[in-house]
Amino acid sequence: MAKKAKKSTEAAVPETLAEDLPEELNEVNAVLPEEATKEPSLEEQKGEKKEKKKPVLGILAGERVITESSDDARELYNQSRFGSLAENGKVELSLLEALYLMERSRLVIKSESGNKEVSFELYVKKARKVEPNFWIRYCVFKDMRNRGYIIKTALKFGADFRVYDRGVKPGEDHAKWIVYPVHEASVFTWYEFSAKNRVAHSTKKRLLLGVVDDENDVTYYEVRWMRP
């Protein structure tokens, strides 16, 4: 069932910034990518009854998690494009990807020594030390993945994430959106807002602002250039 879009709340714009609005008009539409409503096939239903696969083993190594070299680990990359495939057959996952897989019981993460399993709470604590905005970014990452989209980092574009349309894998076509995750209480200037829009425009991608509330729910706003 598709998730209902939350009511949008207009952010108060300081009067001092109103005069600084660029000549180009921006139309901000509250959008929520539709969730997949397709009923599972008989094969998929039968697959659910099969015994669950054993979780893949991963080692926390600083700013990434490195999996074991196994067919199950490579399946994470081949089927859903989690991480990147190394020459040694292991999969290198971002901290966000690893946490998502851990939460879905598809990955067990151990410390770098390999002796101790890392709990969800400890993992998030460590990740926040590496990325202060980790949890806000994870809420958007998780939400997009749950909706059936492949979401990858977009540092080379000057954004947090790039998102591919459903059914499209990186390398098959270009990403459709770039996404900036923000908390609902976050504030940025018109200059910062315009800069994000220009990045999307210059890379020929659509801009999504993923706004995370205190309940970790995400509302998306798509921003487009409008010319009179």
Give per-residue pLDDT as tens, 107-143. 999 998 878 999 999 999 999 999 989 999 999 999 9
Q: Which residues make up the CATH 3.40.1350.10 domain(s) of the chain? A: 15-35+147-226
Res 80: pLDDT: 92
Q: Is the pTM of this model over 0.85?
A: no
Distance of CA 59 to the CA centre of its chain: 21
Task: Using the predicted structure, report yes or no on whether residue 44 has a pLDDT greater than 80.
Answer: no
Task: Using the predicted structure, report yes or no on whether residue 169 has a pLDDT greater than 80.
Answer: yes
CATH architecture label of 50-130? 3-Layer(aba) Sandwich (3.40)
> 98 in helix, strand or coil?
helix
Work out whether strand 64-67 and strand 84-85 pair parallel, antiparallel, or are unpaired: unpaired
Does residue 201 have an active-site annotation?
A: no
Task: Using the predicted structure, report yes or no on whether residue 157 has a pLDDT greater than 50.
Answer: yes
Catalytic residue among 164, 180, 196, 220: 164
Q: Above pLDDT 90, what percent of the chain?
A: 58
CATH architecture label of 15-35+147-226? 3-Layer(aba) Sandwich (3.40)
Does residue 174 have an active-site annotation?
A: yes
Cα-Cα-Cα-Cα dihedral sign, residues 95, 54, 121, 67: negative
Catalytic residue among 46, 169, 174, 191: 174
- CA–CA dist 144, 83 (Å, integer): 16
**CA-based nearest residue to 144, from 73, 207, 220:** 220
Does residue 164 have an active-site annotation?
A: yes
Q: Could you count the other beta carbons within 10 Å of the beta carbon of residue 33?
A: 20
Q: Of all helices (H) and strands (E), which one includes residue 167?
A: none
